[in-house]
A = this chain, B = another copy of it.
């Protein structure tokens, strides 16, 4: 049985109106607020979507929770999300969660108090227990056990495409290099897509999987390449890993695309006017931003949104693969 506002009021020994004021962030006496909050916690009470929809006074703010804004993929995403929201009259709170679930939890509370209308989150922390299907929350790249909408690129298709592009360019033995996180996220599908193509087409492949946080990355890559010296094509879980592979192999005199070919994933650029940093499977960041904004605004309005939204990726040939005629 879900707790109601009445239950909270009874347990806290206050009126229903007081509970409503606390939930909506209206100022009440400190001691009263504490009693109500304790009752909310004890009963795991969640203000329901319908009651919230009736309120005309929305905050017209959204929160964007990112691991860090200091990363070109996340800053491009934030750029387009803010631009899209601004067109809709929304303001954006920025939160670098940086693996601190406490910070993420704060914004979840702000949504429950109607101080923020909803959250777009890229989160790899363990916040599952706070995220429920009636919370206006859209996740990017990570799925939750709860019925939470998430937007992601076609990671499996992108992995397959990377394998295909390497093979088309003459690679005979290919490798996948990547880390993996303890939290379920979509990037594992990049690996699966890549390996699936190799198995189907009987392309010899090697794998370097590194649990996160990765230690001694440079030497792990060197050892892997030395032990598998037939590798002539590499696909990395993301562009940063690709750049690290480039830098590492340079120290033993190997450069791309002369000595090996390399394809990353993400399509990071330092800024709008800068080029891609290597050949890559590029995610469409503007589309991802527009889709996430659309989904969260629909959720806020009570319009049903699919649980999983998958967006296309494309191969961008840059300076680490050979040009095909």
Report A's interface with B, CB cutoff 8 A: 15, 18, 21, 25-30, 32-33, 37-38, 41, 61, 64, 68-72, 74-76, 78-79, 82-83, 86, 91-96, 98, 100, 102-103, 105-106, 109, 240, 243, 247, 268, 270-275, 277
Top 8 closest A-B pairs, CB basis? A75-B75, A70-B79, A94-B94, A71-B271, A27-B109, A70-B75, A70-B76, A69-B75
Task: Please give, as numbers and ranges, the residues of chain B lying within 8 Å of A69 by CB-CB distance.
Answer: 69, 75, 78-79, 82
Given contacts A30-B41, A70-B76, 19 further A-B contacts (CB under 8 A): A25-B30, A28-B102, A28-B105, A28-B106, A29-B105, A69-B78, A69-B82, A70-B75, A70-B79, A72-B270, A78-B94, A82-B96, A83-B96, A83-B98, A86-B103, A93-B94, A94-B94, A240-B270, A240-B274
Evaluate whether A271 and B70 lie within 8 angstroms (CB atoms) in the complex, with A75-B75, A83-B96, A96-B83 already known: yes
What are 15 A-B interface contacts by the 8 Å CB criterion?
A18-B102, A27-B106, A28-B102, A68-B272, A70-B272, A71-B271, A72-B72, A72-B271, A79-B96, A82-B94, A82-B96, A83-B98, A91-B93, A94-B94, A270-B277
Q: What residue of chain B has the Cβ atom nearest to residue A113's Cβ?
A: B27
- CB of A221, distance to nearest CB on chain B (Å): 15
Task: Please give, as numbers and ranges, the residues of chain B lying within 8 Å of A272 by CB-CB distance.
Answer: 68, 70
In the assembled complex, the Cα of A71 lies from the Cα of B76 at a distance in Å of: 8
Q: What residue of chain B has the Cβ atom nearest to residue A105's Cβ?
A: B29
Q: What residue of chain B has the Cβ atom nearest to residue A100's Cβ?
A: B15
Q: Are A271 and B86 in contact (CB under 8 A)?
A: no
Q: What residue of chain B has the Cβ atom nearest to residue A239's Cβ?
A: B270
Which residue of the partner chain, among B25, B68, B240, contacts A79 with CB atoms under 8 Å? B68
- CB of A118, distance to nearest CB on chain B (Å): 15
Task: Please give, as numbers and ranges, the residues of chain B lying within 8 Å of A26 by CB-CB distance.
Answer: 106
Q: Are A21 and B106 in contact (CB under 8 A)?
A: yes
Task: Please give, as numbers and ranges, the residues of chain B lying within 8 Å of A275 by CB-CB distance.
Answer: 247
In the assembled complex, the Cα of A28 lies from the Cα of B41 at a distance in Å of: 11
Task: Please give, as numbers and ranges, the residues of chain B lying within 8 Å of A68 by CB-CB distance.
Answer: 79, 271-272
- CB of A150, distance to nearest CB on chain B (Å): 22
Which of A29, A41, A72, A94 has the most B CB atoms < 10 Å from its CB? A94
- CB of A13, distance to nearest CB on chain B (Å): 12
Task: Please give, as numbers and ranges, the residues of chain B lying within 8 Å of A75 by CB-CB distance.
Answer: 69-72, 74-75
In the assembled complex, the Cα of A86 lies from the Cα of B27 at a distance in Å of: 22
In the assembled complex, the Cα of A311 lies from the Cα of B79 at a distance in Å of: 28
In the assembled complex, the Cα of A274 lies from the Cα of B270 at a distance in Å of: 12
Task: Please give, as numbers and ranges, the residues of chain B lying within 8 Å of A277 by CB-CB distance.
Answer: 270
In the assembled complex, the Cα of A41 lies from the Cα of B28 at a distance in Å of: 11
- CB of A127, distance to nearest CB on chain B (Å): 11
Q: Are A102 and B71 in contact (CB under 8 A)?
A: no
Q: Are B109 and A95 in contact (CB under 8 A)?
A: no
